[in-house]
Structure 1
Amino acid sequence: MSRKKKGSNRWHKQRLKVAKLHEKMANQRKDFLHKESHKLAKLYDCVVIEDLNMKGMSQALHFGQSVHDNGWGMFTSFLQYKLAEQGKKLIKIDKWFPSSKTCSCCGKVRKSLSLSERIFRCECGFESDRDVNAAINIKHEGMKRLAIV
């Protein structure tokens, strides 16, 4: 479109082609998110997720548009209503919960953990992938909150 004269017939034709492509991508994303949320709602009685600030992540971590393109907010809303329809629970863990910095073995919280450190190592000898460790901590926190409710 940048090479077409704005307002011309060819510009309008190209604009429609681009709009169709964007609509197709949006429909593919929605379809994928519906299918994945349906799988999770069908398999589990309770799903625990971290309530992430995607807008802040896109600005602070220089991920830019790729963070918005994944449709995290849409996915959580799909998951929430599908679980609610079946009488199941969605538990959201606060974004400030130190899931990555906490040892899932002994429970000790580290003061700092840089994003470049991909392996979590604790003084107790526990060693794991950083994301796996965070997922275990989120699961434990979700189980605590489920026991309270």
Structure 2
Amino acid sequence: MERLDNEPTIFSHPGWRVAYNTVTWVVLGITLSPGNSIFVGLFMLGFGLLFDYAKFKPVTRPRAIAKNVGGSIATVLIVFNLLASFGAVTVNEKMYLVVVSFPFFKGMAFDVKWYWLITGITVFMTVVDWVTEYIENRNCNETETKPLEIVTSNTGIGG
């Protein structure tokens, strides 16, 4: 069965991914609180990004690299935050991220703002994807609109 392609809207542009990812990341940072809410929020953010990355197949190497790195980061974000949502890691009253049940790291703690800042790499990767898409489109448009050059020969036919 052949699948008909849908017409993309203005919201299918990578710039929108940058916008909603940035807003989500900032809101999660502003609303940091004890418990597991940041992990649930980052889990949801990672899933949205992973599905966004899965929706397209890049044709250029830079964009493919950006997609693969972004998708890998989103996958790590999903796995870690899913485990944290189930109680492996928590945020205590002093706003420290505390490892509760990872065997080698049990009891370790650090300021949760550092975790939030590190997860900002998702914002960076969406910007990288947007820039590579922009360069790809700009290069494509330049080759399409270049005037056709007529090649003439000084020698003519036969000589």
> If the TM-score is normalised by the length of the shorter chain, which range does it land in?
under 0.3
Relative to the length of structure 2, the TM-score reads 0.24
Which is richer in strand? Answer: 1
Asked which structure has the greater CA Rg, the reply is: 2
